[in-house]
Each structure stands twice: as C-alpha cells, then as structure tokens.
C-alpha cells in the first residue's frame, strides 16, 4: 500500500481521468460520456466555477482510481454533507488497498470541512461495492428511496403551472 498515492487532480490529469470514467461506465454497464459530456466534466472540474472535486489514486506512476465528490447541505444536521459521486478503482488494482485509501481520504476531507454526513449511492447489483462500504462501516439506508428526473422530464416538471 505504500506505493499508492492519493492526490488532488490537476488539469494534466484530464486524459487519464476521462479514461477512468470510461472504465467505470463499462463496469456499471452504462454508456460512457460522449465528447460534449467529457468536455463538461473537465470544465466543471477545472473551470472558473468548479462543480465538483477529484482525487486520484496513483500507483506505479499511473492513475488507477479516483473519487469525485461535492458538497450538499443537510437541514436536519445543520451542516454540509460530502456527497461521494464516484469511487472507482481499475479491476487490476483492486485488492491492493487503493479503494481503502480513497475512502479514508474522502472521510478526512469530510471531517476537515466540518461535514455532518458523507453520502453515496451504490447500484443494487454491485455486491462488491456493498461489501467494501459495509466493511468500512458505511450503513445502507433501507428507509430511503432514490427518485430522479432526467432530461426532458426536468423540462416537463418545470413547465407545470405554479398552482
């Protein structure tokens, strides 16, 4: 584990980061981001108004994983929440402590930022991720269900009359 470095991403990491995102899409059986989405990912990370933050796991001089996160707010706790959007490790680097180091880094960031919560979502079929997080004491929220509006659905709701 000593040869694994976790560090903030820089603009020079854009290409390797996008390749990791593509690998995550393959793993999650989803379509990878298209060229426009990739451009937004980089702009939203390194542009004048960043929307999220990124740490990379580097092993042997090459990025092998990442954690992307941003902050939300909990009105019940009265503190910020660190939302972990992605934690991904290349298959060949799993079992080497990379995921553990990424999660510990994210927890330390949440603590340093005064967060009252650290939230994340795991796909139901991803038993490997469920075991990983539960091994680290992350609790599954059985009483909460995720709901989502996407694309045209957002526009449809936005177009509804106020009353």
Catalytic residue list: 133
Burial class from Cβ neighbours inside 10 Å (0-12, 13-18, 19+) for residue 159 reads exposed
Give the count of beta carbons closer than 10 Å to the beta carbon of residue 53. 17
* CA distance linking residue 21 with residue 3, whole number of Å: 23
Between CA 14 and CA 117 the distance in angstroms is 29
Query: Within 13 Å, how many C-alpha atoms sit on residue 160's CB side?
Result: 8
Cα 25–97–31 angle (5° rounding)?
Answer: 0
Residue count of the chain, please give it.
163
CA distance 136 to 162: 45
What is the distance between the alpha carbons of residues 124 and 158, in angstroms, rounded to a whole number? 30
């Amino acid at each position: 584990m000593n040869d694994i470095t976790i560090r903030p991403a820089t603009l020079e990491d854009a290409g390797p980061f996008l390749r990791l995102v593509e690998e995550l899409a393959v793993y999650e059986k989803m379509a990878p981001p298209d060229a426009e989405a990739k451009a937004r990912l980089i702009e939203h990370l390194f542009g004048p108004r960043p929307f999220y933050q990124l740490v990379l796991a580097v092993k042997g001089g090459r990025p092998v994983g990442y954690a992307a996160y941003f902050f939300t707010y909990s009105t019940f706790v009265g503190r910020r929440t660190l939302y972990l959007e992605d934690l991904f490790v290349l298959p060949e680097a799993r079992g080497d402590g990379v995921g553990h180091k990424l999660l510990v880094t994210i927890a330390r960031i949440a603590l340093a930022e005064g967060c009252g919560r650290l939230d994340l979502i795991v796909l139901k079929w991803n038993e490997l991720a469920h075991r990983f997080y539960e091994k680290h004491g992350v609790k599954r929220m059985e009483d909460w269900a995720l709901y989502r509006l996407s694309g045209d659905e957002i526009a449809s709701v936005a177009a509804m009359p106020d009353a």
